[in-house]
Amino acid sequence: MEQSKTLLGQMDYHHHCGKTTMALVELVRSQLIFCALAVLAEERKPLECLDAFSSTGIMGLQWAKHLGNSVKVTVNDINESSVARIRENCHLNKIRTVAKADEMPDAAPEISDKDFVATVEVTNMDANILMHMRSFDFIHLDPFGTSVNYLDAAFRNVRNLGIISITSTDTSSLYAKNTHVAKRHYGCNLIRTEYYRELAARVVLAAVARTAARCNKGIEVLLSVALEHFVLVIVRVLRGPSLADESMKMINNLIHCHWCEERIFQKEGTMIEENPYNQLPCDCHISMPGRSAVLIGPVCLRMFCFTSIESSFDRMLSAHSNSFQMQNHTPGIHP
Ligand SMILES: C[S@@+](CC[C@H](N)C(=O)[O-])C[C@H]1O[C@@H](n2cnc3c(N)ncnc32)[C@H](O)[C@@H]1O
Ligand SMILES: [Zn+2]
């Protein structure tokens, strides 16, 4: 079985790709994350990166195999059987495993190790503990469900100008089915709208920006994607209280009209406006008085700006065109 030239055991492959579309979407997700890491690998060497919820090892093994000595990869999972599976997949891919990062070679493998194409560190820890104990340049979070419980640890120790990639699969709350759960996890008011996926990405980004700010860090949004079963956001970490303050300015509420789905970010400021409905461009509140508008949020004003990952992304998009939808603009929400 093959995925991006990285071998996985038979069972693992089916675990990943029950359906063809799912397989493609997963491939796209892993390629997006890979692109972000590849960009960072060009900026600093060697780069310490963490696949914190590795499961089969699919992500981390690809990084090690394709980026070679420019990355020092740690693949982690709390589950012992997952770790055993990671080791099997390493074996299958001729990747040497070490238990501690300081056992990793700085240069090409020794002559006696010439059969190995790469080395990874395999750890069996709670991701929160690992991230509190050690610093990384690149962290990939992919827990079951919401990622909010792991953001604090990730942002506490990540190196300045490093990158954090966050996959959230709690789409029932993010896509406004279980709004009470969204309230609990993200402190956010949500309702189902025609742009619910975009909102989901904005909700996650607001949570990420708040966490970073608690650690006196700001974020630059590199990418945000909301597909069928996950929301992926990739951010650059910018250290410093003033950058944290700048990021907090990216968070605001949205005023949304129930009738026509018109929406606008609430005006800045702490003054209570007599008629906030006036901020909406539509006049439904006049023609249909009553509860025509709701407050959604807090959400992030910035979605993503293509920066250096643009070219890799374009290449990948053309290879997989028509097979998936990207939210690469902000339909109707300003700015
Ligand atoms: C959604 S799966 C990861 C999928 C994987 N990243 C991939 O692309 O195939 C979540 C994994 O996180 C592991 N896990 C759950 N809680 C954890 C924790 N607190 N620390 C580390 N790993 C954890 C589970 O054992 C599981 O293998
Ligand atoms: Zn309206």
With the most atoms of ligand 1 within 8 angstroms of its CB, the residue from 11, 13, 30, 55 to mutate is: 55
CA of 56 to the centre of ligand 1 (A): 9
Q: From ligand 1's centre to the CA of 255, what distance in Å?
A: 36
Contact call for residues 139 and 162 (beta carbons, < 8 A): yes
Residue 106 has a pLDDT of 62
The pocket around ligand 1, CB under 6 angstroms, is made up of 53-56, 58-59, 76-79, 82, 126-127, 142-144
pLDDT digit string (tens) for 217-270?
999 999 999 988 999 999 999 999 999 999 999 999 999 999 999 999 999 888
- Per-residue model confidence (pLDDT) at position 3: 37
Residues in the chain: 335
Q: Whose alpha carbon is nearest atom 25 of ligand 1?
A: 79
Give tens-digit pLDDT for 271-282: 888 888 899 999
Residues near ligand 2 ion, CB 5 Å cutoff: 257, 259-260, 262, 282, 284
Residue range 191-222, pLDDT digits in tens: 999 999 999 999 999 999 999 999 999 999 99
Least confident of 5-14, 35-44, 80-89, 123-132: 5-14
257 with 293: CB under 8 angstroms?
yes
Over residues 103-124, the mean pLDDT reads 76
Weakest mean pLDDT among 33-37, 100-104, 209-213: 100-104
Instruction: Look at residue 308 in the predicted model and tell me its pLDDT.
Output: 38
**Average pLDDT of the residues of the chain:** 85
pLDDT tens-digit series, residues 138-175 = 999 999 999 999 999 999 999 999 999 999 999 999 99
Measured CA to CA, the distance from residue 21 to residue 157 in angstroms comes to 36
**Averaged pLDDT, 288-301:** 90
Q: How far is the CA of 157 from the centre of ligand 1 (A)?
A: 20
Give me the sign of the Cα torsion angle 198, 203, 205, 209. positive
Q: Give 112's pLDDT tier (boundaries 50, 70, 90).
A: low
Residue carrying structure tokens 């194409």? 117
Residues of the chain with pLDDT > 70, as a percent, come to 82
Bigger pLDDT: 176 vs 17: 176
The closest alpha carbon to 164, from 251, 224, 250, 90, belongs to 224
Looking at all shown ligands, the one closest to residue 259's CA atom is 2
Residues contacting 290, CB < 8 A, separation 6+: none
User: CA 297, CA 218: separation in Å to the nearest integer?
Assistant: 20
Instruction: With beta carbons less than 8 A apart as the criterion, state whether 76 and 86 touch.
Output: no
Considering every ligand atom shown, identify the ligand nearest to the alpha carbon of residue 290 and give its number.
Answer: 2
Distance CA(26)–CA(16), nearest Å, equals: 8
Q: How confident is the model at residue 310 (pLDDT cuts 50, 70, 90)?
A: very low
Average pLDDT (56-84) is 96
For residues 325 and 180, which has the higher predicted lDDT (pLDDT)? Answer: 180
**Which ligand is nearest to the Cα of residue 286, counting in written order?**
2
120 pLDDT above the threshold of 80: yes
**Diameter of the chain measured on Cα atoms:** 80
Q: What is the pLDDT of residue 331?
A: 35
pLDDT number for residue 2: 34
Task: Name which residue leads in pLDDT, 146 or 322.
Answer: 146
CA 115 – ligand 1 centroid, Å: 29
